[in-house]
């Protein structure tokens, strides 16, 4: 059982506690220690399990999708089959943040798990592309809620100073899930329905655990009608439509239609205008915004959102293009490429946990931001040195550098983003952070793809075989990297093709290093904010809440005497 949160402390004492004036008092110090009930650990274990499985599902279909498309006759619906999960999960996250403030954390979490399980079942049993798309959309809605609520519930359970440790482990499990998703998808491609059937027992375990143990407090409205009136329907509708429009343009650009096509430009422009109008609505016409404008008025928090975007972009950048090097340049199979990628996966977690421990012990986040983005910049830079003659020791060590940057940054960003904001903004700020992180995932595929395709197409003239040149142009080179296509080419042609892959990937890694260096410089603009050791929240596990009420009443009685 944890000591009572600071909500039970008189107002004057709470105000001084955030400045550090009473941090040596036993009650405040007790709250900064990790003495939690078994209920807490069960809930946290369930959160990590959900984080892992939902992250896997965000990338698991990337390898198996061609097989699924052929099986369901969905060639014309390929774009929607591939991306409807992403659309539903990304665009709805601010909405989930708002309803978790209005209705509490418990019911949105249970509904999100149920939606994820329902969507998984529908997708697994799909007999046509329309049913598959519908199932993935429902699954994406559930994942959108999970992405927000996982971080949010951790923030409700532990003080800001301690969140790095717990978020670090949970976000590391999500990073592992994101990385191994394509590997599992490739292994189960022939029996692709099991990709989704496996979610059902895991979702069932998580649902039972959350139903039994996630009993959290919140200040309920007098009636359901009053609660429903607080939801920002207009703002969320504008936001969801705008983000889906932008995502549609991004995923179709350069694949289904060229970037210069009106079919790409129109959704991007409409989405951008809609997004701008959403923020106007939030600032001037909404009584209870889902994305309050004041979240961006604080310099440190605003920079935290930007760094959340760039760090997520760099994560997916590595996940999508380092396996491409193993397959196209070193000739590895998709499964072997997954094995070669293990050093990155294995080192994300320990680096994240070390960063979380440092954050909890010192309360300093800027050194972690600097070191994380420095490692990312250096690691991405040295990846540009890889070619067909590079040794295993070289690319293993380079992966460890990049993994270090990923693990450190993922752990330290959310606590620093929340540090300058009051505790009442945790839900909306966490939802906004979760959204920019998911939005970064999209750009982490789009930007390097643009760079890679541009560099590859500019060097196509170096391929002597005209037929091979035609096969690899206009963005097809990424798809042909797997399946042994390059290995089957005649030696001279294969050497020409591999050299172009090396040059194109070199440009990709230099661009990644530039984004990491930009993020490193941005840290200088952050302002150090003391991480609170007290848990000033109206939410939290209900068993702790009963203790809080009892201790708070005794404290008031003693002070009155």
User: How many CA atoms does the CB half-sphere of 191 hold within 13 Å?
Assistant: 6
DSSP string, 98-147: HHHHHH-SHHHHHHHHHHHHHHHHHHHT-SSHHHHHHHHHHHHHHHHHHH
Q: What is the pLDDT of residue 399?
A: 95
The token pair at 76 is 């014309």
pLDDT in tens, 323-358: 889 988 998 877 788 788 888 888 888 898 899 889
- In sequence order, what E strands does 341-431 have? none
Q: What is the pLDDT of residue 7?
A: 30
Look at 215 and 343; give whichever has higher pLDDT: 343
Look at 412 and 540; give whichever has higher pLDDT: 412
Main-chain dihedrals φ then ψ at residue 216, nearest 5 degrees = -115, 155
Residue 554 has pLDDT above 70, yes or no: no
* Confidence class for position 259, pLDDT limits 50, 70, 90: confident
3-state secondary structure of 144: helix
Determine if residue 292 is left, alpha or beta; phi over 0 gives left, psi from -120 to 50 gives alpha, anything else beta: beta
DSSP string, 183-246: HHHHHTGGGTHHHHHTHHHHHHHHHHHHHHH--B-----SSHHHHHHTS-HHHHHHHHHHHHHH
CA proximity to 360, closest of 164, 159, 156: 164
Q: Taking each helix axis from N to C terminus, what angle separates 491-522 and 366-383, rounded to the nearest 10 degrees?
A: 160
Distance CA 303, CA 310 (A): 11
pLDDT in tens, 472-487: 888 788 878 766 788 8
pLDDT in tens, 41-90: 888 888 888 888 888 877 777 667 767 887 888 777 877 888 898 899 99
Please enumerate in sequence order all residues whose Cβ is within 8 A of that of 125, keeping only pairs 6 or more positions apart, or say none.
131, 135, 193
Report the pLDDT averaged over residues 8-26: 32
Alpha carbon of residue 310 to chain centroid: 11
Q: Tell me the fold of 299-537.
A: Growth Hormone; Chain: A; (1.20.1250)
Distance CA 468, CA 444 (A): 28
The token pair at 277 is 């109008």
Report the pLDDT averaged over residues 168-178: 76
Domain boundaries, the chain: 36-219, 233-287, 299-537
* Percent of the chain whose predicted confidence (pLDDT) is above 70: 88
The token pair at 452 is 């890679």
* Confidence class for position 171, pLDDT limits 50, 70, 90: confident
Distance CA 376, CA 512 (A): 8
The token pair at 528 is 């150090």
Distance CA 313, CA 500 (A): 24
Q: What is the pLDDT of residue 482?
A: 67
Main-chain dihedrals φ then ψ at residue 331, nearest 5 degrees = 80, 20
Quick check: do 36-219 and 299-537 share a fold?
A: yes
Q: Tell me the fold of 36-219.
A: Growth Hormone; Chain: A; (1.20.1250)
């Amino acid at each position: 059982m944890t000591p009572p949160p600071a909500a039970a402390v008189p107002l004057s004492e709470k105000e001084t506690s955030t400045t550090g004036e009473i941090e040596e008092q036993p009650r405040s110090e007790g709250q900064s220690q990790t003495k939690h009930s078994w209920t807490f650990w069960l809930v946290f274990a369930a959160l990590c399990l959900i984080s892992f499985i939902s992250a896997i599902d965000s990338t698991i279909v990337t390898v198996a999708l061609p097989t699924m498309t052929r099986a369901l006759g969905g060639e014309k619906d390929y774009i929607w089959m591939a991306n409807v999960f992403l659309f539903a999960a990304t665009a709805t996250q601010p909405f989930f943040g708002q309803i978790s403030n209005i209705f509490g954390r418990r019911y949105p979490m249970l509904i999100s798990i149920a939606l994820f399980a329902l969507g998984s079942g529908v997708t697994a049993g799909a007999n046509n592309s329309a049913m598959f798309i519908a199932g993935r959309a429902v699954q994406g809605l559930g994942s959108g809620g999970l992405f927000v609520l996982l971080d949010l519930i951790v923030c409700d359970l532990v003080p800001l100073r301690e969140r790095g440790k717990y978020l670090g482990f949970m976000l590391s499990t999500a990073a592992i899930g994101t990385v191994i998703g394509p590997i599992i998808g490739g292994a189960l491609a022939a029996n692709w329905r099991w990709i989704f059937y496996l979610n059902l027992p895991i979702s069932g375990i998580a649902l039972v655990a959350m139903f039994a143990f996630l009993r959290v407090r919140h200040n309920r409205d007098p009636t359901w009608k009053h609660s429903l009136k607080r939801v920002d329907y207009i703002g969320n509708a504008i936001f969801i439509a705008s983000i889906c429009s932008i995502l549609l343009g991004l995923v179709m650009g350069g694949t289904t239609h060229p970037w210069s096509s009106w079919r790409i430009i129109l959704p991007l422009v409409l989405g951008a205008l809609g997004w701008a109008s959403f923020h106007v609505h939030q600032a001037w016409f909404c009584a209870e915004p889902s994305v309050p404008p004041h979240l961006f008025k604080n310099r440190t928090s605003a920079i935290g959102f930007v760094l959340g975007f760039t760090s997520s972009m760099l994560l997916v950048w590595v996940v999508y293009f380092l396996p491409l090097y193993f397959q196209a340049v070193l000739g590895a199979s998709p499964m072997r490429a997954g094995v070669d990628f293990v050093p990155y996966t294995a080192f994300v977690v320990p680096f994240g946990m070390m960063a979380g421990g440092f954050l909890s012990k010192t309360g300093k986040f800027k050194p972690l931001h600097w070191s994380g983005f420095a490692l990312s910049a250096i690691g991405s830079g040295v990846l540009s040195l890889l070619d067909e003659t590079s040794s295993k020791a070289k690319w293993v060590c380079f992966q460890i550098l990049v993994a270090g940057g990923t693990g450190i940054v993922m752990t330290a960003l959310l606590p620093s983003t929340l540090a300058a904001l009051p505790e009442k903004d945790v839900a909306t700020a966490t939802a906004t952070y979760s959204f920019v992180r998911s939005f970064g995932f999209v750009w982490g595929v789009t930007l390097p793809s643009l760079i890679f395709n541009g560099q590859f197409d500019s060097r196509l003239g170096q391929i002597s075989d005209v037929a091979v040149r035609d096969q690899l142009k206009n963005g097809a080179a990424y798809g042909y990297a797997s399946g042994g296509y390059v290995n089957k080419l005649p030696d001279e042609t294969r050497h020409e093709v591999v050299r172009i892959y090396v040059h194109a990937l070199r440009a990709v890694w230099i661009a990644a290093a530039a984004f990491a260096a930009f993020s490193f410089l941005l840290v200088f603009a952050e302002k150090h904010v003391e991480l609170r050791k007290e848990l000033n929240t109206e939410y939290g596990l209900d068993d702790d809440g009963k203790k809080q009420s009892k201790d708070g009443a005794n404290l008031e009685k003693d002070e009155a005497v």
